[in-house]
Homo-oligomer: A and B are copies of this chain.
Amino acid sequence: MDPAVVGRRVRALREERGISLSTLARLAGVGKATLSGLEHGTRNPTLETLWAVTAQLGVPFTALLAEPTAEPTVHGTAVTATLLEVFTDTDATYELYRMRVAPGVVQLSPAHAPGVTEHVTVFAGVLRAGPADAPLTAPAGGHLRWVSDVPHSYAAVGEEEVAASLLLRYPRH
């Protein structure tokens, strides 16, 4: 993650709107020096600065972050998972991932904290996953669910890469 990438993004967004550095700085309530340095990537902006600028540009924070950065949490050799959303309610915290499982490799994951459950909906391919000693199998459209406080495994069945959504549920303790 390069601050220069963020800077280029800000400058592009500003120029799309046809407003000058000076006016954006004034509207966002930051110094021109700050904005200049931000766009050049020569500063390391604070959350407050970034928020002031993005709010004025009318874009979500994510617009500043290059795609590759938003990219995968690599669990390991077979599985790549991208976090789509974190969701908290009174009982638990949920993390929704989009998951891909490459064929030909079995991946083992260590146990999570007690009470954590995983829910998988398979989009494409055939997935074998679950507790390492008793994995379950689901074809495209299928759904798997297990308690993940024991070591567990993921594997694609056959030659096709598996695409799925993975929901991790962390109970509030």
Question: For A3, what are the chain B residues with a Cβ–Cβ distance below 8 Å?
Answer: 47-48
Q: Does A109 contact B (CB under 8 A)?
A: no
- Neighbour of A46 across the interface among B45, B63, B143, CB < 8 A: B45
* Stretch from A20-28, A81-89, A127-135 forming part of the interface with B: A81-89
- Neighbour of A58 across the interface among B44, B58, B73, CB < 8 A: B73
State which size class the interface on A falls in. 35 or more
Check B44 against A59 for contact (C-beta < 8 Å). no
Check B60 against A68 for contact (C-beta < 8 Å). yes
- Neighbour of A89 across the interface among B9, B92, B123, CB < 8 A: B123
> A51 CA to B63 CA in the complex, in Å?
15
Q: Does A77 contact B (CB under 8 A)?
A: no
Check A87 against B170 for contact (C-beta < 8 Å). no
Q: For A68, give the chain B residue with the smallest CB separation.
A: B60
From 109 to 148 in chain A, residues with beta carbon under 8 angstroms from any chain B beta carbon are 113, 117, 119, 121, 123-124, 140-141, 143, 145
Task: Please list 28 pairs of residues, one from A and one from B, whose beta carbons are closer than 8 Å in the complex, sorted by A's number.
Answer: A1-B51, A1-B55, A6-B47, A9-B86, A12-B88, A44-B46, A47-B50, A51-B69, A59-B83, A59-B86, A60-B68, A60-B82, A61-B69, A62-B85, A63-B70, A63-B83, A84-B96, A87-B98, A90-B124, A91-B124, A94-B123, A119-B141, A121-B143, A121-B165, A141-B169, A143-B143, A165-B165, A165-B167
**Which 9 A-B pairs rank lowest in CB-CB distance, beginning with the nearest?**
A60-B68, A58-B73, A60-B70, A143-B143, A89-B124, A63-B86, A44-B46, A16-B170, A44-B48
New A-B pairs, 20, CB < 8 Å, besides A63-B86, A84-B85, A141-B145:
A3-B48, A12-B88, A12-B93, A46-B47, A59-B83, A60-B65, A60-B70, A61-B61, A61-B62, A61-B70, A62-B83, A63-B85, A89-B123, A90-B124, A91-B124, A92-B124, A94-B123, A119-B121, A121-B165, A141-B169
